[in-house]
Amino acid sequence: METVMRIGELGAAAGVDIETIRYYEKTGLLPDPARSTNGYRAYGPAHLERLAFIRHCRALDIPLADVKRLLEFVACPENDCGDIDRLIDAQLARVRARLKSMQALERQLASLRGRCGVAHVAGDCGILHELVAAARGEACACHIEGLPGSKKAEMSTRPSVRRSGA
């Protein structure tokens, strides 16, 4: 059976960019594969399984450092798994906190968007007025209920953005 794959095939099989695969290798998440005579990486099914595991964890937003720890548990099933519990708990807590602030965010933006329906001049734009007023600390529709970011809410002095995942 020809279970040996080159990097492009592995990537296609797992739905992962080849640059990402090389990145995982470089950072020690994927073991160095064998090489064909021409120097091409030669992967087997074990690599595919491991890569799929990593991507599943990443889909769960588990940081690579934690994925690494989980992989160690997979490799050493005799270890105590209390750490796994704690790891997942911590991840769940992170996600829930983030979720809460995202929901607040959504309410704020939805409220903001309602301010400006028709095309006109920026000087009259309700959105812009609202943003400026909010920055001044005046009462604004989107800060009705002590939302994160109002000035120093419990969540973060440090908001964070990702570029749109599309």
* Binding characters for DNA, 43-82, by CB under 7 A (x = yes): ---------------x----xxx-----------------
Residue 123 found at the interface with a copy of itself (CB under 8 A): yes
Task: In angstroms, give the least distance from the CB of 124 to DNA.
Answer: 27
Residue 69 found at the interface with a copy of itself (CB under 8 A): no
Task: In angstroms, give the least distance from the CB of 25 to a copy of itself.
Answer: 18
Contact predicate 116/123, CB 8 Å? no
Q: How far apart are CA 133 and CA 149, in angstroms?
A: 14
Task: Please name the residue that has the structure tokens 């929901």.
Answer: 103
Task: In angstroms, give the least distance from the CB of 4 to a copy of itself.
Answer: 20
Contact segment (CB under 8 A) with a copy of itself among 2-10, 26-34, 36-44, 113-121 equals 113-121
Residue 79 found at the interface with a copy of itself (CB under 8 A): yes
Q: How far apart are CA 1 and CA 96, in angstroms?
A: 46
Residue 64 found at the interface with a copy of itself (CB under 8 A): yes
Long-range Cβ contacts of 79-88 (<8 Å, 24+ apart)? 87/62
Q: Return the residue of 1, 2, 3, 39 that touches DNA, per CB under 7 A.
A: 39
- DSSP bridge partners of 64: none
Q: Return the residue of 77, 122, 139, 160 that touches DNA, per CB under 7 A.
A: 160
Closest Cα to residue 42, out of 12, 5, 10?
5
Q: Which two tokens stand for residue 110?
A: 């939805």
Long-range Cβ contacts of 95-100 (<8 Å, 24+ apart)? 95/61, 97/155
